[in-house]
Amino acid sequence: MGRMSGKRAIITGAGSGIGRASSLLFAQEGAQVLAVDLNESVHETAELVRKAGGQVDAMTADVGNEADVRAYVARAMSAWGGIDAIFANAGVGGGALPLGEQTPEQWMEVLRVNLIGPFLAVKHASVPMIAQGQGSIVCTASVAGLRANAGGHPYSASKAGVISLVQTTANSLTGTGVRINAICPGLIETGMTRATFDYARSRGTSDRIGQLNPMLRHGVPSEIAHMALFLASDDASYVNGQAIAVDGGLSSTHPFKRRRT
């Protein structure tokens, strides 16, 4: 019996990175998974899950479009008759332009995907969860939403918004049996961060990636997936309204320059 045996779970941003790792892990632990992504690579994720013996369906959707969110929730309901967990993980980086060069349009797109997307997931997936008296909502925030110097302005603001969304929603869902929590990843090697990793490797400085945290390394998608699994499962039955950092200890201190030994 897996930790998600008999559970029905939606995972967004499932076409790569954290979402793909989570789809594989949730299915391995017994969940029926609906993998959702804007990119067609979500079908590659589904094929990987099937090859590993998991139960999965896949569809493309824009998580910041309410009609698409209604569609993926409806698909899950049609297939399973209920939803036990949703991992609202999809997001975009938004770049790192200087403040004076940023535009309202850039901000609006980052906020649409990174913050409105989770809001819509909460709005629509919570309805069947409330009706059945239980469920778990997990959102991907970031250490960039906790304090400065971990991301660009719009990205960081959007992730701070996700943390607030989780906290306020936990209270809005009082007494329903539905929990909601956020994961705050540190530096993880995914499609979103690939340019950073490729640049460091091209300069021969890949050994310095992640040097600001006490573990002196970056993270990998499976490490975030395991936290998502915990929060989505009954193991986290008394965890609610929290923003949990999975960052190698980066957020335990203020930024500083580590001395080379």
**What is the four-CA torsion angle of 139, 142, 144, 145, rounded to 10 degrees?**
30
Catalytic site includes residue 155: yes
Helices assigned H by DSSP within 112-193: 117-132, 153-172
Its sign, for the CA torsion 53, 70, 143, 179, is negative
Nearby residues of 78 by Cβ (< 8 Å), 6 or more positions away: none
> Residue 137: how many CA atoms within 13 Å on its side-chain side?
31
Neighbours of 152 (CB within 10 A): 19
Which one of 72, 155, 199, 238 is the catalytic residue? Answer: 155
Q: Can you tell me the distance from the alpha carbon of 260 to that of 150, in angstroms, rounded to the nearest whole number?
A: 21
Known catalytic residues are 155
